[in-house]
Amino acid sequence: MQLKELLPQAEGLLANIDIKGMTCDSRKVGPDYAFVCIKGYDTDGHKYALSAQEKGAAVIIAEQPTGAANEIIVDDSRRVYAEMSAAWFGHPSKSLKLIGVTGTNGKTSVTYMLKSIIESKGYKTGVIGTIQNLIGDEVVGSTNTTPDAYGLNELFARMRDAGCKYAIMEVSSHALDQKRVWNLDFEVAAFTNLTQDHLDYHKTMENYLSAKKKLFTMCKTAVINIDDSYSKSIIEDLGCKYLSYGVVDRSATYSANGINMRPDGIEYELVGDYTIKRIKLRTGGKFSVYNSLCAAVCAGALGFSLDEIADALAGLQGVKGRAEVVPTGKDFTVIIDYAHTPDGLANILSTFKELKKGRLVCLFGCGGDRDATKRPIMGSIASKLSDFVIVTSDNPRSEEPSDIINDILSGMKEYKTPYTVIENRTEAVKYAVQNARTGDIIVLAGKGHETYQILKTGKIHLDEREVVAEALS
């Protein structure tokens, strides 16, 4: 492919250079590649321009001079990288109906609910998100909630070529801020909620909100959780039509009435647009009401009927790592959930606090090299809502686990809830299971779908389902 097909502003002899590949990672550069220099969070691609040239890069695209030959200076290399990536794969997103879901919590559940609804009508659907990427039923590995622009367009191309009609994606604040989804056109974009997270990157909640709001400049219809305190700010700045959903605010376009929560699921009446439909779910918790409302309203905006939506939701099994019940064959219950934010932890504990017959036991830790301010907050939440707390490691990364644990413990002082500290997460899970009492509900929070743990020494295998089974045996 000639450079001018990827980069229209290329001029002269450079415009006709034949490009064999493109990347923003100097380690992946090959002969006749286009290398795009991007200033990242940890490093700056401009430092590797000459190295890329030595590896055979045919052209260097940068925001400032690097000293490399065949260099093209652009005003925004992230935007250019997204545009080039789309062109490289033949603008695949244009062949798909895109649905984007953003927010702190609930994104994964909403995308899987939407996939179930859409596929119930026979439409092959792709999913891009935290747990994994899916092309129909084909599982594709996932490292980021939202891939970089090249990886994202590669996925879109594979979906297009496999016959997918829809692509549902979790859209992270990082992806929006870093222009990974630049110039995409979403049929529907949904906002689930906004609570404290990623402040190590965004620094302030205002910056975090500002990043999320960018999604709604790229969609035809917005679907907004009106019960969230940040919804007003999003709605005020919308340039497209919107539909709202909620449980508390009765002005919502769609609301949930008569909520009936049971240990094995939830029922409620979805009300709106002079219609009413009974919704049944196999997952518990008020958060499941919000997630299913969001999915239902998105599907309605895409043209699906309430009957189709209700039938699909009723048949949906749970999502891995989201309020997942681990079979034990015992007289206590073990739940695995991805809750790793204050709001997420409060939601999952509040749900099972209402359903417990014995103690509510919470096992959790906090991630290293991430927002440290949420650690004491989560410690306070766990102590307030639980009957017993096991403080352990999550993904400590480069930090000392004991330092993270001390931050958590500082928030637990205001309550007298009994607790223990077991730094090794595997041993902590075993302790929780082996010391369970009749009627207990044990919530293993933070890891969810993850089957690994990131330590200072690297990534190790850790699947809590396997640890629970070993403890039981």
pLDDT, tens digit (0-9, with 9 covering 90-100), for 420-429: 999 999 999 9
Identify the band that residue 32 occupies on the pLDDT scale cut at 50, 70 and 90: very high
Q: Using CA atoms, how far apart are residues 334 and 320, in angstroms rounded to an integer?
A: 14
For residue 63, what are its two tokens?
Answer: 């925001």
pLDDT digits (tens, 9 = 90+) for 145-167: 678 999 999 999 999 999 999 99
Please check whether residue 154 is in contact with residue 30, taking contact to mean a CB–CB distance below 8 angstroms.
Answer: no
For position 202, what pLDDT does the model report?
65
For residue 234, what are its two tokens?
Answer: 């999003």
For residue 356, what are its two tokens?
Answer: 């417990």
Mean pLDDT score of the chain: 93
Q: What 3-state class would DSSP assign to 9?
A: coil
Domains annotated on the chain, with CATH: 3-88 (3.40.1390.10), 92-314 (3.40.1190.10), 324-472 (3.90.190.20)
For position 97, what pLDDT does the model report?
98
Provide the percentage of residues in the chain whose pLDDT is more than 70: 97
Position with higher pLDDT, 262 vs 446: 446
For residue 246, what are its two tokens?
Answer: 């909620």
Predicted TM-score (pTM) of the model is 0.81
Which range has the worst mean pLDDT, 259-263, 325-329, 435-439?
259-263
Kindly state the DSSP code that residue 16 receives in the 8-state scheme.
G
pLDDT digits (tens, 9 = 90+) for 314-366: 998 877 888 888 989 999 999 999 999 998 899 899 988 988 889 999 999 99
Residue in the block written with tokens 């959930």 = 337
pLDDT at 141 over 80: no
Please check whether residue 156 is in contact with residue 96, taking contact to mean a CB–CB distance below 8 angstroms.
Answer: yes
For residue 242, what are its two tokens?
Answer: 């919107």
pLDDT at 21 over 90: yes
For position 64, what pLDDT does the model report?
96
pLDDT at 236 over 70: yes
Q: Please give the average per-residue pLDDT across 383-394, as a whole number.
A: 98
